[in-house]
Amino acid sequence: MKKSMVVASIVLLIVALSGGVAHAQEPTVWIWAGCDECTRNVTTTDVIGFNDGWAAATPGLLKLYLKENHTSLVLTRDDTGEVVFSLSDAQVAGMYSGVGYGPPDEVMWWPGLACPMPHLYYNDWNYVAGSLPVGSYTLVETSTLDHPVNDAFHTCNAPDEDGNIVPITPPPSLYWPGTTISTSSIVVSEP
């Protein structure tokens, strides 16, 4: 399977496991902050939460990611250029959950996913922004890795479209140092 399938599965994991940040209301819509070139349509009555996270084959690889990753988030209103909110690396780092774990197919919501380790480990962060007025918005997540990070998903297998058991990503499933910028659009309309 392609690396995009791994990323899509991580998104499902993150959405499923996000518990919410203390806010007047619980989110009715979760938006994955790391989704590049995505568009989400919501209404003015939706309570919006943003989230992201990481999963790895061992707790040590997960902790290495936390140590090497720096993420910030900015939401801007398109017509005015007004920054609706901005989260610094320190703020995002303070929102990560504790390390969780579970069977690979359950953690990733990926039927048939099998790894040599009995568990996959994960963490996530989430931020509840609340409701937004009608308009178009741009969400930019900037993530920087200081050193290479490996999630070891190259050791995991799953059925492909034809039912053949294949690796889910080619070795070494290594993410190189550098910065990744994910930009997505949010369109808010009346219900």
Domain of 69, in residue numbers: 3-19+26-189
Contacts 24+ apart (CB under 8 A), 155-159: 155/57, 155/115, 155/116, 155/117, 156/57, 156/104, 156/113, 156/114, 156/115, 156/116, 157/113, 157/114, 157/115, 158/1, 158/110, 158/112, 158/113, 158/114, 159/111, 159/112
Q: What's the pTM value of the predicted model, to 2 decimals?
A: 0.79
Query: How many domains, the chain?
Result: 1
- Given this model, what pLDDT does residue 17 score? 40
- Given this model, what pLDDT does residue 24 score? 55
- Given this model, what pLDDT does residue 9 score? 41
For the chain (length 191 residues), average pLDDT per consecutive 10? 43 40 72 95 97 91 93 97 97 92 87 90 93 98 96 92 92 93 98 94
